[in-house]
Amino acid sequence: EVYSIEKEYFKFMVGGNKRNRLNEIMTGLYCITSEEHSKGRSNIEVVEKMIKAGIRIIQYREKKKSLLEKYNECQKIREMTLASNVTFIVNDNVDIAMMVRADGVHLGQDDLPIERVRELVGDEMIIGVSTHSPKQAEDAVKRGADYIGVGPLYRTYTKENVCEPVGLEYLDYVIKNIKLPYVAIGGIKEHNMDEVLARGAGCISMVTEIVGADDIEQKIGRVKSKFSRGVL
Ligand code: 3NM
């Protein structure tokens, strides 16, 4: 069993160049877990629904659990995402990302230095970095990030210690000046996503709007229909 998972992993990772693959995956909705906002559903249940709804990139983000609990959940999610060809990113924990052979790791501004993480994980693993200003975006590019998070566009209570909303002008800046895939994030909902799409954003993340929806699959379906090309 383990052997077949490994085989699947290499089939997925070896095919194609990372940048092309990322450009293709980072369009539409980028989903992120958060069990405390999931209305009693587990991260695993939520991920199951995201996969069923056709999501192609999922980040495991969990601030309240032990390392071991997070490792166990990531191991399970790695199996689920491999079986459905979904890209799997682990937030913060480089160790867990490597141990479960995730496709990538996502770093915040206070996490380990990008270039040191790169030494550790190698060239094939995706490194995403949260950025909140033009300077941070440029810094992430220089230091070898593969994609950046751009936000918070609106006020959000989901991320502790996150800065004031940076406004849509920061998104404009990234679209115009930064040559990396990016994901717009922070306070984005079904009701305001049109505004973000209108600025030209091709990839959007919503945390509470998705994981806290009464019917996650239905919510994803409605959000999906708003992306002009109909891709997820
Ligand atoms: N990162 P919601 S804002 C995880 O700006 C995260 O980097 C942000 O949650 C950033 O969609 C954020 O519920 C939380 O507002 C987004």
Convert the pLDDT of each residue in 107-119 to its tens digit: 999 999 999 999 9
201 C-beta neighbours (distance < 10 Å), count: 24
Maximum Cα interatomic distance, the chain, rounded to a whole number of Å: 49
Separation between Cα atoms, residue 126 and residue 214, nearest integer Å:
32
Q: Is the CB of 151 under 6 A from ligand 1?
A: yes
Q: What is the pTM of this model?
A: 0.92
Predicted confidence band of residue 60 (pLDDT cuts 50, 70, 90): very high
- Whether residue 10 has pLDDT greater than 70: no
Name the nearest CA neighbour of 186 among 167, 213, 212. Answer: 167
Kindly give the number of the ligand 1 atom that is closest to the alpha carbon of 206.
11
Mean pLDDT over each residue of the chain, to the nearest integer: 92
- The secondary structure of residue 134, as a DSSP letter, is H
87 CA distance to ligand 1 centroid (A)? 19
- Whether residue 204 has pLDDT greater than 50: yes
42 C-beta neighbours (distance < 10 Å), count: 12
167 CA distance to ligand 1 centroid (A)? 13
What does the pLDDT average to over 73-78? 98
ipTM given for this complex: 0.99
* Portion of the chain with pLDDT greater than 90, in percent: 86
- Whether residue 230 has pLDDT greater than 60: no
Given the residues 49, 61, 70, 219, the one annotated as active site? 61
* Dihedral of the alpha carbons of 55, 60, 64, 66, in degrees to the nearest 10: 140
Given the residues 34, 38, 130, 205, the one annotated as active site? 130
Kindly give the number of the ligand 1 atom that is closest to the alpha carbon of 208.
13
Q: What is the pLDDT of residues 14-36, one digit of tens each?
A: 445 888 889 999 999 999 999 99
What does the pLDDT average to over 35-48? 98
Give yes or no: 52 in active site. no
Q: What is the pLDDT of residues 126-152, one digit of tens each?
A: 999 999 999 999 999 999 999 999 999
Give yes or no: 66 in active site. no
11 CA distance to ligand 1 centroid (A)? 32
100 CA distance to ligand 1 centroid (A)? 24
- Whether residue 161 has pLDDT greater than 90: no
